């Protein structure tokens, strides 16, 4: 039996124009596209008319057995000899479970490729005029999955608070108060600048800026919610000077 091939493609952070050329080419020749909740629907317009589109979006805290279904689809359609695109928001290997999907494909002998994408942890700050590194402000950046809390918290807050200049949290909005409290408790000054960027790189983008002490109240007042990126560090001070996209939309 002729096996198909799976392309695990990063769709980018939201703006459909930010997908790579190769990522778009994969979409154009796919027989099956399995796509996430945050993937721009405009990208699906590049699919050929007969392509099968399978939605596998995961709502926050409602993942259930969706990941298992994704694994089954990837193998099922590849074994039918089809070209399959697993279209994932951002980059497949940045908090996207792309590594698990690649492992599953390898275990079943399915050929695959990883097509990197622009990740929100870099793109969201860029669209808000915040460079995650800067010669005068930050020589390093750390990316953290922010949905960890309580007994599930595996973050070494003492090390994180002191070891890096810029911290970028993905999926942290539900725990933003906890994040700020832990950073302060483990040595970050309460006046450290913080930005929250909602729906980054889309025409719904909003950015608010505060400090570890004030950002939770600001987020609540402005009613920001997921999807959003949280940026902590002195680079946030550049937002007012370098912001560009929200002034043009």
Asked whether 217 and 149 are in contact (CB, 8 A), the reply is no
Asked whether 132 and 125 are in contact (CB, 8 A), the reply is yes
Catalytic residue among 15, 88, 171, 173: 171
Q: Is 94 a catalytic residue?
A: no
CA distances from 95 to 88, 190, 192, 247 (A): 10, 28, 25, 30
Catalytic residue among 15, 31, 36, 91: 36
- CA–CA dist 227, 209 (Å, integer): 16
- CA–CA dist 23, 160 (Å, integer): 34
Place of tokens 């790189």: 201
Q: Is 171 a catalytic residue?
A: yes
Q: SS3 letters for 147-169?
A: CCCHHHCCCCHHHHHHHCCEEEE
- Say which residues have a Cβ less than 8 Å from residue 107's Cβ, sequence separation at least 6: none
Catalytic residue among 3, 5, 58, 82: 58
Active-site residues: which are they?
36, 58, 171
């Amino acid at each position: 039996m002729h096996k198909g091939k799976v392309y695990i493609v990063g769709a980018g952070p939201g703006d459909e124009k930010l997908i790579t050329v190769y990522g778009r080419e994969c979409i154009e020749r796919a027989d099956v596209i399995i796509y996430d909740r945050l993937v721009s629907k405009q990208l699906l317009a590049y699919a050929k008319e007969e392509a099968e589109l399978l939605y596998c979006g995961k709502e926050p805290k409602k993942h259930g057995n969706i990941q298992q279904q994704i694994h089954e689809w990837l193998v099922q359609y590849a074994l039918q000899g089809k070209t399959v695109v697993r279209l994932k928001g951002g980059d497949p290997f940045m908090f996207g479970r792309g590594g698990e999907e690649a492992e599953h494909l390898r275990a079943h002998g399915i050929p695959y490729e990883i097509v990197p994408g622009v990740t929100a942890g870099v793109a969201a700050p860029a669209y808000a005029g915040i460079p995650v590194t800067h010669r005068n402000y930050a020589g390093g950046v750390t990316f953290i999955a922010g949905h960890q809390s309580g007994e599930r918290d595996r973050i070494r807050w003492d090390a994180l608070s002191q070891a890096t200049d810029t911290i970028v949290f993905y999926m942290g909005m539900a725990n933003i108060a906890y994040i700020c409290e832990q950073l302060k408790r483990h040595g970050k000054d309460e006046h450290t600048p913080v930005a929250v960027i909602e729906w980054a790189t889309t025409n719904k983008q909003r950015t608010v800026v505060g400090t570890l002490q004030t950002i939770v109240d600001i987020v609540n007042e402005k009613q920001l919610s997921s999807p959003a990126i949280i940026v902590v560090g002195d680079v946030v001070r550049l937002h007012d000077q370098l912001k560009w996209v929200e002034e043009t939309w």
